[in-house]
Every structure is written in structure tokens, then in C-alpha cells.
């Protein structure tokens, strides 16, 4: 009997020593870092990727995106791979390094300042208010409002930033990002999403579970996003203002 009790206690000690994360939201602590991307920051704040924001692997991002958002690997793999160029490590990245201008970070962001104009890393309420105040008579965002916001934000960047980068690459990134937030927090077919959920995501970098949001039962893939991404593409009234941009291959490495 005594040996049985000892065995049970030993097993309990082993289990209790294993790292666990119930994915509660926690604001980043001193020394923890975050990125210009509210999606990655939300995953870190909920522990779906390392809460430190440091030494993040592509596999970690892929697993975290499925677990937290039900976003398929194919939806974000390319961007994640490019993110490795933000630092000197072969197979990991730190989230704050993703502020490297024109790698995956871009001008005319919904929630971040242009690099040439100031802080391109942290959330900017003034810029986000463009989206938060769109279509005030409705409680929902949609592909229509996403297209309007993209145009308004780009117009503002062009007006204020003489060195704005505005090529097809940035436009495609913005359309994909808009389709992602609409799919994660709204209907994966129509792209209609409650403003409350989306606003919490951008402002607090938190999953709005307490407010009633549930992770999509539909895996969010390039195919599911394609119709709304195409709609946003064709309704943003986008005009390319430069043919190409410097090719960023890493920190201090620009061709």
C-alpha cells in the first residue's frame, strides 16, 4: 500500500511540473516583445505562441494559428517564412523585429503608423479610429467597409508620407489581412463581422471570448478567403504609385 501511495504522489508531481497554458489573456510583461501584427500579438497574449515573443518558430506560428483562430497553415505560411529574414537566427524570429520596414510590415496599416512618420510597431488609436468610425449606423464590419477603410488609410498615407511605399505587394498584403480579420471574427462566407469583436482584437490584442466570440468551425484557407479578398481588391479604388520597391532581405540588407 505504501509503495502504491508513493507511486501516485510521484506521478502527480511529474504532471504538476509539466508546463501548461490555459490560454487566458495576459498583457505582455516587462521584457516580453510584440510585433506590428495584432494577430501574432493576440496569439502571444493568449499563450498560443511563446508569451515572451522571442525565439518564435514557424511551426509554433502554424500550430498557434490553427489552435487560436482555426487559420490554415497555407493562409500564412509564406508570410511566416519571410518573417525569418527579420533577424539573424536561422529558424526563429523575435516579434518586435517584424517591424523591419517593407519586409512584411507595410505603410497604410489599419492600426500602425507609417515607418517614415513615427512608431510603426505599436497600436495607434488615432489611425484605427478611421475603421472604428466607419459606417456608424451598423454594428458590423464587412468586405465593403474593409475596402473603404483601405482606401481612406492609403489616401492618408499618400497625403502625409512623401516616402510612402505603395506597390502591388503592399496592396495584396492589406487585402489578405482584411479578409483574415473578417473571417476570424465573422462569417467565413460573407465576411460580416461584429465590430465589437474586431475592435477588441485590434485594441486589446485579445480574443473576445467573454463577449461571445467562438473560434470558427470552418478552417480558414486561401480558398475560403478568396471571394472576399477579391471583392476588397476590386472595391478599394487602388492606384499603384510606384512600379517597384527596395527588396528587403533582412535588417540592413536592402537591394
Q: CA-CA distance, 77 to 50, in Å (whole number)?
A: 18
Instruction: Give the chain's end-to-end CA distance (angstroms, integer).
Output: 72
Rounded to two decimals, the pTM is 0.91
Picking from 19, 66, 57, the residue whose alpha carbon sits closest to that of residue 39 is 66
Q: Where are the domains of the chain?
A: 27-254
- 77: exposed, middle or buried (C-beta count within 10 Å: 0-12, 13-18, 19+)? middle
Mention every residue, 6+ apart, whose C-beta is less than 8 A from residue 203.
123, 125, 128
Q: CA-CA distance, 71 to 144, in Å (whole number)?
A: 22
Grid cell, residue 111, equals 492600426
The reported pLDDT for the residue numbered 1 is 52
143-176 exposure pattern, b = at least 16 Cβ within 10 A, e = fewer: bbbbbbbbbbbbeebeeebeebbbeeebbebbbb
Phi, psi dihedral angles at 220 (to 5 degrees):
-90, 110
The reported pLDDT for the residue numbered 247 is 78
Q: Would you give per-residue pLDDT tens digits along the chain (255 residues)? A: 544 444 443 444 444 434 567 999 999 999 999 999 999 999 999 999 999 999 999 999 999 999 999 999 999 999 999 999 999 999 999 999 999 999 999 999 999 999 999 999 999 999 999 999 999 999 999 999 999 999 999 999 999 999 999 999 999 999 999 999 999 999 999 999 999 999 999 999 999 999 999 999 999 999 999 999 999 999 999 999 887 777 787 787 776
**Residues forming a β-bridge with 230:** none
The reported pLDDT for the residue numbered 20 is 61
Question: Which CATH code fits 27-254?
Answer: 1.10.489.10
Find out whether 193 and 213 touch, Cβ atoms under 8 Å.
no
Amino acid at each position: 500500500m505504501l509503495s502504491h501511495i508513493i507511486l501516485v504522489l510521484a506521478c502527480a508531481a511529474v504532471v504538476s511540473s509539466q508546463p501548461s497554458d490555459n490560454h487566458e489573456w495576459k498583457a505582455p510583461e516587462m521584457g516580453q516583445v510584440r510585433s506590428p501584427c495584432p494577430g501574432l500579438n493576440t496569439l502571444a497574449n493568449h499563450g498560443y505562441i511563446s508569451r515572451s515573443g522571442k525565439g518564435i518558430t514557424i511551426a509554433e506560428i502554424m500550430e498557434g494559428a490553427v489552435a487560436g483562430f482555426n487559420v490554415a497553415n497555407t493562409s500564412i505560411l509564406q508570410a511566416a517564412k519571410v518573417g525569418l529574414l527579420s533577424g539573424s537566427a536561422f529558424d526563429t524570429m523575435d516579434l518586435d523585429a517584424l517591424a523591419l520596414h517593407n519586409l512584411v510590415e507595410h505603410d497604410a496599416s489599419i492600426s500602425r503608423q507609417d515607418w517614415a512618420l513615427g512608431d510603426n510597431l505599436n497600436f495607434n488609436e488615432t489611425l484605427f479610429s478611421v475603421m472604428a468610425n466607419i459606417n456608424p449606423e451598423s454594428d458590423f464590419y464587412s468586405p465593403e467597409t474593409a475596402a473603404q477603410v483601405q482606401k481612406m488609410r492609403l489616401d492618408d498615407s499618400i497625403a502625409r508620407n512623401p516616402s510612402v511605399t505603395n506597390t502591388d505587394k503592399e496592396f495584396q498584403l492589406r487585402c489578405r489581412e482584411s479578409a483574415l480579420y473578417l473571417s476570424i471574427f465573422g462569417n467565413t462566407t460573407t465576411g460580416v463581422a461584429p465590430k465589437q469583436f474586431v475592435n477588441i482584437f485590434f485594441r486589446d490584442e485579445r480574443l473576445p471570448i467573454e463577449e461571445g466570440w467562438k473560434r470558427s468551425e470552418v478552417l480558414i484557407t486561401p480558398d475560403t478567403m478568396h471571394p472576399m479578398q477579391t471583392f476588397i481588391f476590386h472595391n478599394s479604388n487602388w492606384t499603384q504609385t510606384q512600379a517597384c520597391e527596395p527588396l528587403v532581405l533582412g535588417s540592413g540588407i536592402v537591394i
